[in-house]
Copies of this chain bind each other. A is one copy, B any other.
Amino acid sequence: MPRTAETEGYKFNHTMIRVKDPKVSLKFYTEVLGFDLLSEMKMETFTLYFLGYDHSGGKDTEEEKKDSRLNREGVLELTHNHGTESDPNFQGYASGNSDPGRGFGHIAITVPDIQKACARFEELGVPFKKRLTDGNMKHIAFILDPDGYWIEIVPTRLSL
Interface set of A (CB-CB < 8 Å, partner B): 1-4, 6-18, 30-31, 33-37, 41, 52-55, 58, 70-77, 79, 93-96, 100-112, 116-117, 120, 147, 149, 152, 154-158, 160
Contacts and interface: CB of A to CB of B under 8 A. Distances in A.
B96 A103 contact: yes
A155 B70 contact: yes
Copies in the complex: 2
A96 B104 contact: yes
B93 A12 contact: no
Contact of A14 (B34, B93, B107): B107
Contacts of A72: 73
The 10 closest A-B pairs by CB, nearest first: A101-B101, A7-B34, A73-B74, A104-B104, A93-B103, A16-B105, A12-B74, A9-B112, A100-B100, A94-B103
B108 A13 contact: yes
A110 B95 CA distance: 25
